[in-house]
Structure 1
């Protein structure tokens, strides 16, 4: 049993009104699939521009990936600007910087305009390194950040309680309560004529002059334009299958005295990533949120990763008990730039936020709304899903493809050697039973449940996460409950139940 409550602080500290489930066929102008930051922001921007949109959410809005983020809203993304300038040129880096900083300011303006109480605080944002030999690389990144138009500077000291060799500092960034912010946006969206439907999973999409969407209850939606704003696109996957890499990171949250608050946001890719921020939390204290231990879904060792992150936190900060812990999921892209824009006639996508989902999500809403209303943003081509950067992407895309192939081979070998008889209550394994590769789980009462181990999205074999008690697909990040039901796509169907 891990220390702390196994839930996101953002989820535990905010309540969402219930939105209806779609129960009858409808015909609409614009449909947004997915009720996270990209989906809600896109629908809100469209509705404000005079094109009321409807949101179809498989579960509850702002309760998937966005409900488990860190709420760090900054234009200073780790190790992006120098590689971007080198591969695509100074203009691309400038557009990237502008799109991200405008997203920061846009969120602040909206929160103020709508009166959303979301604990929004202006704070400096730092990217730091600890080894002295990395300082020169970081100075080069600082120069690239400045050349891109952001007023960043290189510093040798920070307010962290441990020494660093150097850091890039960008002032006036934002930390906030992302769920409260987006729930406020959702309420304003409905007031403006948009609609939200929860517990409405889209399981099929047939493209045409009017796209035909089918939900898990058999309801049909006809829409002139469709935005796919799920984490991994549930449709149009062929374009992006080998250009998206799923990853997870752990988050722990514990109270810290106000005088021990470092007063800024910090991130490093060292130590398998460490991100530091705080949030308001009662009187005379703050909530310290530490993120890190990046890993691929289905790779196991979650408890050990949690222990490493907790020990690191206790070594560096004065904390007591852990109050919350959770895991956040995201997607890297092969060229480190999100895919946002048109993928086909009147079909759009937003994905691949590379652990910077807050600014990318807000940027996506503005970009997509601009495409649908004829007012394109200057950076539209930079994020276009059909862009081709063969030199920058060839190696990473090949690596993704080989990884999928390797998993398909090695997982089948592993499945033939795992003894089901050794399963303890609360654990699961993949085994070959009566000629079929099965996902087998033994519940706390000792009853064994058997499912197909093949992910319905692409056929990769799932693995069991003993800590969160879920099945995870390592290829595209699909996650399923112990009973096989879908927790997280791109899968739209559950794991097959076997007698």
Structure 2
């Protein structure tokens, strides 16, 4: 396993290199595939829905742009809990008790669904029951903790207010949810994938990016490698790559960062933890060789809005060393999720006019349970089974566009649309790009996103995101071009890393003589 903290591969993926064994969708082999349901995206929501549908007798095809469970589900902290930091007091205020109770029930049911499936099928995924805590270190955050504990108890959740936790530092107070869980997400999802593919009537395709979906009788799911036909299609790609439904305008992309450090078992805190306030930290452990691996996350920000991403990792590493006495950082990676403006996922029809296209998105950083619940809702919808959470999660529900979050997000999008185009006017030569650096420049009137690698070679691409035309920004820690408008991400060579875009950035040919920086 990788021990280089400069690597940005997650532990979940690094420790499961052997589970990604499914074929591409090759035209001459699979082009005539017709199944009941196509699921686009092999993460928590997609594989949960596919598993349920396959067990109910439907034929399914899961189509994934990369490898199974290697997207957001492979970069999560993997807490399986209905404790979502501080949400229930706010849901009671904004949505009322009935809807808040449904949200609580959906996520608590998701915890038990995962637990029962692990037990029934003996899934080897480091599953363990844990107490989950949201903690406040200072007294000025204590009232929000008390309010959350009271709200959660009102909604029937296993919540209590406590003043002590297993953390190695004092707290002012915490809300604790008993009998929650944690696991290795990719091992769990790999088991679901194997169970689906065990029936030869079902298919799982990796490295097959869907480019378009045409609704019809049947629907056509088009990739560069071939086309699949299905009666119904579920789009579970974190954010739908299809712009119908305007889900990119009803949510915003948020990146967060995780570091992982080996720690002796007797020093590892028992439980799952998340702080409050700005600069909060998310904490858990997982088995690692003969020790534990301490995972610390945080430093979240809107995707593409911050170029100083390296400093965010450094702050997490300093926290791990000062609070837990760790020495070596084994892993560091980041994740991305979409936050809905009312903090409730969108699950259901893609638009009011579509009859066979469905979507699940907006899990708001709690995708292990919200994604599971979404998968169950989608499966029930296809099977014609009434689901108690379908109306709450309804993708077509009236959405509170005019909120502080939505106004701020749309204002920032407009600022980036104009302001980021001006950044390129400040630089006019590849010589201004240092080794390991990415920069927006203008060459002969053409705007470019230029990166100089460690050998001195310049890689230049169009800075215009292929989704809706925003200008990408440089992510220094991960050597990627990130779109600040709707969360699209591209490699330094312009290849799509994260949707909603499906097309790569246009490559600008650079003369091989452009290999020397003046710095």
Q: TM-score band (shorter)?
A: over 0.9
Q: Are residues 1:201 and 2:209 paired?
A: yes
How far apart, CA to CA, are the structure 2 residues paired with 1:484 and 1:4? 21
In structure 2, the gaps of 5 or more residues are 510-519
**Aligned partners of 2:451, 2:331: CA distance in 1, in Å?**
26
Any residues of structure 2 matched to 1:432-447 within 5 Å, and which?
A: 432-447=442-457
Contact kept? 1:260, 1:318, Cα under 8 Å: no
Indicate which of 298, 301, 306 corresponds to 1:295: 301
Q: How many Å apart are 1:216 and its aligned residue?
A: 1.8
Residue 23 (1) aligns with residue 26 (2): yes
CA-CA distance at 1:452 after TM superposition: 0.8
Q: Is the 8 A contact 1:129 1:165 kept in 2?
A: yes
Q: How does 1:444-459 map to 2 (within 5 A)?
A: 444-459=454-469
CA distance in 1, matches of 2:224, 2:438: 27
Shift of the 242–2 alpha-carbon distance from structure 1 to 2, 3 Å rule, reads farther
Q: 1:471 Cα shift?
A: 1.1
| Aligned counterpart, 1:185 | 192
In the alignment, the residues of structure 1 paired with residue 75 and residue 182 of structure 2 have an alpha-carbon distance, to the nearest angstrom, of 14
Q: Does 1:425 align with 2:432?
A: no
User: Shift of residue 270 of structure 1?
Assistant: 2.7
Matched, 1:214 2:217: no
What residue is the counterpart of 1:397 in the other structure?
406
| CA distance 1:126–1:347, shift in 2 (3 Å) | same
Secondary structure of the structure 2 residue equivalent to 1:239: coil
Q: Report the alpha carbon displacement of residue 245 of structure 1 after superposing the two structures with TM.
A: 0.8
Contact 2:439 2:449 in 1 (8 A): yes
5 Å-filtered alignment, 1:474-485, equals 474-485=484-495
Kept in 1: contact 2:20–2:68 (CA 8 A):
no
* 1-structure distance, mates of 2:269, 2:438: 41
| TM-score (norm. length: structure 2) | 0.93
Q: 2:183 aligns with which of 176, 183, 192?
A: 176
Q: Deviation of residue 239 (structure 1)?
A: 2.3
Query: Aligned equivalents of 1:135 and 1:367: distance in 2?
Result: 36
For residue 326 of structure 2, the aligned residue among 316, 319, 322 is: 319
**8 Å CA contact 1:426, 1:443 repeated in 2:** yes
Query: Any idea what SS the aligned residue of 2:119 has?
Result: helix
C-alpha displacement of 1:3 = 3.8
Report the Cα distance in structure 2 between the residues aligned to 1:303 and 1:389, rounded to whole angstroms.
Answer: 35
Q: Which residue of 2 aligns with 1:149?
A: 156
C-alpha distance in 2 between matches for 1:461 and 1:237? 22
1: CA distance, partners of 2:399 / 2:187:
37
| CA positional deviation for 1:115 | 1.6
Displacement, 1:236?
A: 3.8
Deviation string 1:431-488 (CA, Å, 9 cap, x unpaired) is 1222222111222222222211000001010112222111111111111111111111
Q: Which residue in 2 is equivalent to 1:13?
A: 15
Query: Secondary structure of 1:272's partner?
Result: coil
SS at 1:454 equivalent: coil
1:323-378 Cα deviation digits (max 9, x unpaired):
11111111111111111112231111111111111111111111100000011210
3-state SS of paired residue (2:289): coil
Q: CA deviation at 1:296?
A: 2.2
Shift of 1:237: 4.2
1:79-90 correspondence to structure 2 within 5 Å: 79-90=86-97
Counterpart position of 2:107: 100
Decide whether the 8 Å contact of 1:273 with 1:294 is kept in 2.
no
Does 2:471 match 1:471?
no
Unaligned runs of 5+ in 1: none
Root-mean-square deviation over aligned CA pairs: 1.6
Tell me, yes or no, if the aligned pair for 1:243 and 1:400 is still in contact at 8 Å. no
Aligned mate of 1:49, from 40, 49, 56: 56
TM-score normalised by L of structure 1: 0.96
Between Structure 1 and Structure 2, how many residues are aligned?
496
2:320 and 2:278 map into 1 onto residues whose CA distance is 12
Deviation at 1:426, TM superposition (A): 2.1
Preserved CA contact (<8 Å) 2:141 2:276: no
Displaced runs of 4 or more, over 4 A: none
Q: Is the 8 A contact 2:257 2:298 kept in 1?
A: yes
Deviates more, 1:192-201 or 1:92-101: 192-201
